[in-house]
Amino acid sequence: TVLNENFAAGRKLKTDLIEKALGMQNSADWQKTTLAFIKLQEEWKKHPGYGDKEEPRLYKKFRNACNTFFDAKKAHLASKDASYENNLKTKEEIVLRVSKFVPGDDENANREQLKTFTNQWNAAGLVPMKEKKRINEAFYNKLDELYEKMNLGKEEKELIQFKSKVERMAVSENAFDI
Q: Is the dihedral of CA 93, 95, 96, 98 positive or negative?
A: positive
Average the pLDDT over each of 59-73, 81-95, 124-138, 159-173 and give the range with the smallest value: 159-173
- Closest among 55, 73, 164, 52 to 116, alpha carbons compared: 164
Predicted confidence at residue 171, as pLDDT, reads 60
Q: Is the pLDDT of residue 176 over 60?
A: no
Dihedral (C-alpha) 171, 173, 174, 177: value to the nearest 10 degrees? -80
What integer best gives the mean pLDDT of the chain? 88
This prediction's pTM: 0.62
Predicted confidence at residue 168, as pLDDT, reads 64
For the chain, percent of residues with pLDDT exceeding 90: 54
Instruction: Please state the rounded mean pLDDT for residues 30-54.
Output: 92
Q: Is the pLDDT of residue 89 over 80?
A: yes
**Helix/strand/coil for 83:** helix
Please give the residue that has the higher pLDDT: either 111 or 27.
27
Q: Which amino acid is at 11?
A: R
The highest-confidence range among 47-56, 134-143, 155-164, by mean pLDDT, is: 134-143
Residue 3's Cα: distance from chain center in Å?
48
Q: Is the pLDDT of residue 70 over 90?
A: yes
Instruction: Please state the rounded mean pLDDT for residues 21-36.
Output: 96
Residues 6 or more apart in contact with residue 173 via CB below 8 angstroms = 126
Please give the residue that has the higher pLDDT: either 160 or 25.
25
Q: What is the pLDDT confidence band of residue 172, given thresholds at 50, 70 and 90?
A: low
